[in-house]
Amino acid sequence: MKSIVYTSPEEGWGDRLLPTGAKKMHILHVDDDPLFLELTEIYLNRTGDMTVTCCSSAHDALRLLETEQFDAIISDYQMPEMDGIELLFELRSAGYTLPFIIFTGRSRQEVVIDALNKGADFYIQKGGDAGAQFAELENAIRQAVHTCRSGNHLRQSRRRIADIFHHLPDATYAIDCSGMVIAWNRAMELMTGIHAGEIIGSDGHPYAIPPYEEATTALIDAILHPEAEVPPAYRLLDQEQGMIIAETEGMLPDGTIQTLWTKATLLYDENGSIAGAIESVRDITASRNAEKELIAAGEYRRSLIEAHIDPLVTIGPDGEVQDLNAATETVTGIPRERLIGKPFASLFTDPLSAEAAYQKTVRSGAERELRLTLRSPDGSIRPILFYGTVYRSRDGEIRGVFAELHEPVPGSDPIPQSCRCRGGRCGCDAESLHADIILHDLGNSVTATRGYLDLLGLPSDDEIYGKLKQAIMKSDEIIRTLSRHAGHQRGAGERISLDTVIRQEITHFPGTDIRYAGSDAEVLADDLLSEVVWNLLFNSVTYGGSGVTITIGVAEEDDRVIVTITDSGPGIPEGVAVPPPISRKGDGLCIVRDLVSIYGGEVWAASPEREGASISFSLRRAEQPLSPGIGASARNMADGIRPS
- pLDDT tens for 160-176 read 665 666 667 788 888 88
Please say if the pLDDT value at position 249 is more than 70.
yes
Mean pLDDT, to the nearest integer, of 210-238?
82
pLDDT confidence tier of residue 553, bands split at 50, 70 and 90: very high
Q: Give ∠ CA 456-458-462 in degrees, rounded to 5.
A: 65
More confident residue, 614 or 3: 614
Among 203-217, 223-237, 328-342, the range scoring the smallest mean pLDDT is 203-217
How many CB atoms neighbour CB 437 within 10 A? Answer: 22
The amino acid at 375: R
Q: What is the largest CA-CA distance in the chain?
A: 84
What pLDDT score was predicted for residue 120? 86
The rounded distance, in Å, linking the Cα atoms of 431 and 594 is 12
* Under 8 Å between Cβ of 31 and 79: yes
- Percent of the chain at pLDDT > 70 equals 72
Check for a shared fold between 9-165 and 289-418.
no
Closest among 312, 327, 332 to 376, alpha carbons compared:
332
What pLDDT score was predicted for residue 586? 44
More confident residue, 165 or 24: 24
Model confidence pLDDT, tens digit, residues 489-527: 444 468 899 999 999 999 888 889 999 999 999 999 887
Q: Where in the chain are the domains?
A: 9-165, 171-282, 289-418, 476-641
What pLDDT score was predicted for residue 59? 93
How many CB atoms neighbour CB 82 within 10 A? Answer: 16
pLDDT confidence tier of residue 635, bands split at 50, 70 and 90: very low
Q: Domain spanning 9-165 has what CATH number?
A: 3.40.50.2300
* Backbone φ, ψ for residue 35 (5° rounding): -65, -45
The rounded distance, in Å, linking the Cα atoms of 388 and 361 is 6
Q: Which range is most confident: 27-31, 66-70, 136-140, 156-160?
A: 27-31
Label residue 236 exposed, middle or buried (CB < 10 Å: 0-12, 13-18, 19+). middle
What pLDDT score was predicted for residue 489? 43
Mean pLDDT, to the nearest integer, of 424-447?
53
Cα dihedral sign, 176-179-181-183 = positive
- Of the candidate CATH numbers 3.90.850.10, 3.30.70.560, 3.30.450.20, 2.40.50.140, the domain formed by 289-418 belongs to 3.30.450.20
Give the rounded distance of the alpha carbon of 425 from its chain centre. Answer: 23
Q: Which fold has domain 171-282?
A: Beta-Lactamase (3.30.450)
Among 315-319, 387-391, 464-468, the range scoring the smallest mean pLDDT is 464-468
Model confidence pLDDT, tens digit, residues 76-134: 988 888 999 999 988 877 767 789 999 887 666 777 878 877 778 888 888 777 888 88
Mean pLDDT, to the nearest integer, of 317-327?
89
Please say if the pLDDT value at position 255 is more than 50.
yes
The rounded distance, in Å, linking the Cα atoms of 547 and 512 is 7
* Under 8 Å between Cβ of 581 and 594: no
More confident residue, 452 or 244: 244
Model confidence pLDDT, tens digit, residues 476-492: 566 555 544 444 444 44
The rounded distance, in Å, linking the Cα atoms of 54 and 72 is 12
Distances (CA, A) of 351 to 162, 319, 348, 461, 641: 32, 12, 6, 47, 43
Model confidence pLDDT, tens digit, residues 350-381: 888 888 899 999 988 899 889 898 888 887 88
Q: Using the 8-state DSSP alphabet, how is residue 377 labeled?
A: T
Mean pLDDT, to the nearest integer, of 226-234?
83
Please say if the pLDDT value at position 629 is more than 70.
no
What pLDDT score was predicted for residue 499? 95
Mean pLDDT, to the nearest integer, of 445-469?
65
Q: Give ∠ CA 422-424-425 in degrees, rounded to 5.
A: 75
The rounded distance, in Å, linking the Cα atoms of 367 and 358 is 9
Please say if the pLDDT value at position 243 is more than 50.
yes
What pLDDT score was predicted for residue 154? 55
Distances (CA, A) of 573 to 30, 67, 91, 543, 636: 18, 21, 24, 10, 38
Give the 3-state DSSP-derived string for 23-65, with helices as H, strands as E and coil as C: CCEEEEEECCCHHHHHHHHHHHHCCCCEEEEEECCHHHHHHHH
pLDDT confidence tier of residue 56, bands split at 50, 70 and 90: very high
How many CB atoms neighbour CB 422 within 10 A? Answer: 19
Cis peptide before 579 (omega within 30 of 0): yes
pLDDT confidence tier of residue 426, bands split at 50, 70 and 90: very low
Q: Give ∠ CA 180-182-187 in degrees, rounded to 5.
A: 120
Model confidence pLDDT, tens digit, residues 573-609: 776 777 776 544 446 787 788 788 888 888 998 766 5
E strand segments, 42-170: 50-55, 72-75, 100-104, 122-125
Q: Domain spanning 476-641 has what CATH number?
A: 3.30.565.10
What pLDDT score was predicted for residue 627? 40
Q: Mean pLDDT, the chain, as a whole number? A: 77
The rounded distance, in Å, linking the Cα atoms of 153 and 614 is 51
The rounded distance, in Å, linking the Cα atoms of 378 and 384 is 16
The rounded distance, in Å, linking the Cα atoms of 446 and 603 is 29
pLDDT confidence tier of residue 308, bands split at 50, 70 and 90: low
